[in-house]
Amino acid sequence: EVQLVESGGLVVQPGGSLRLSCAASGFTFDDYTMHWVRQAPGKGLERVSLITSDGGSTFYADSVKGRFTISRDNSRNSLYLQMNSLRTEDTALYYCAKEREQLIHFDSRGQGTLVTVSS
Amino acid sequence: EIVMTQSPATLSVSPGERATLSCRASQSVTNKLAWYQQKPGQAPRLLIYGASTRATGIPARFSGRGSGTEFTLTIGSLQSEDFAVYSCQQYNDWPSYTFGQGTKLEIK
């Protein structure tokens, strides 16, 4: 059964850095493009970044471009999001998700990881 | 970037009644439109893809329609477990996927 477990969320000051991780299991991780999607309090979903199955291509939303870096370690079935120069507007619950046939699939039991940027 | 606009922001409906939610794209997304359901403390769940195809395990009371820029999600005979936030998402413009801001379906 597909499982995606996010971790690494913390309270951090503006300008700080954080690294999120996502541990994947239950599927062949290196076959899939992976995404980070976030949800700010009271707001809609925002797809932050994606990385293709081999890590060869990445994409970032304009809101995080130049500050966030997505990466993956297929040998560890893990996805990462390095977040630098954090802003208060980055405060959100961050989910990892896999893409299959152009569709984003979340782990139904996923809790996400909460990032709070506050002084 | 394709902007997805959902209406209304909040919809109050009684159990057993029908609910219709709308989603509009700022430019055509053909039929590459998905709907997600999200309950408090849970990750989003895929309901509909291809504008009208139900995902695996989704009850028949959920139906989607539309193409181009106008889409609707209809939930017939609302059950207690259907009260949640519903979001539309276009996947026509890869990799620039975008979501709507969500419609909260609440009990009247």
DSSP A16-81: --EEEEEEEESS-GGGS-EEEEEE-TTS-EEEEEEE-TTS--EEE-TTTTTTEEEEEETTTTEEEE
- Of B77, B37, B33, B83, nearest in space to B57 by CA: B37
Question: Between the CA atoms of A66, A68, A70 and A71, what dihedral angle is there, to the nearest 10 degrees?
Answer: 90
- Average pLDDT, stretch B15-23? 97
Q: What is the structure's pLDDT at B41?
A: 86
Q: Decide if B9 contacts B104 (C-beta within 8 A).
A: yes
For chain B, positions 83-102, list CB contacts with chain A under 8 A: 87, 89, 91, 94-102
| pLDDT at residue number A109 | 86
> Would you give the distance in Å from CA B38 to the centre of its chain?
10
> Is A44 in Cβ contact with B100 (below 8 Å)?
yes
Question: Quick one: closest CA in A to B51, which residue?
Answer: A103
Task: Determine the pLDDT at residue B69.
Answer: 98
Contacts of B32 in chain A (CB under 8 A): 102
Interface of A with B (CB under 8 A): 35, 37, 43-47, 50, 59, 62, 95, 97, 102-112
Residue A103 has its nearest CB partner, among B34, B87, B96, at B34
Residue pLDDT tens, chain A, 119 long: 899 999 999 999 999 999 999 999 999 999 999 999 999 998 999 999 999 999 999 999 999 999 999 999 999 999 999 999 999 999 999 999 999 989 999 998 889 999 999 99
Helix (H) or strand (E) holding A95: strand A92-100
First-residue to last-residue Cα distance in chain A: 40
Residue A81 has a pLDDT of 98
pLDDT of A14 reads 97
Model pLDDT, residue A108: 84
Contacts of B46 in chain A (CB under 8 A): 103-106
- Residue B47 pLDDT more than 90? yes
Measure Cα distances from B19 to B10, B23, B31, B106 in Å.
11, 13, 21, 10
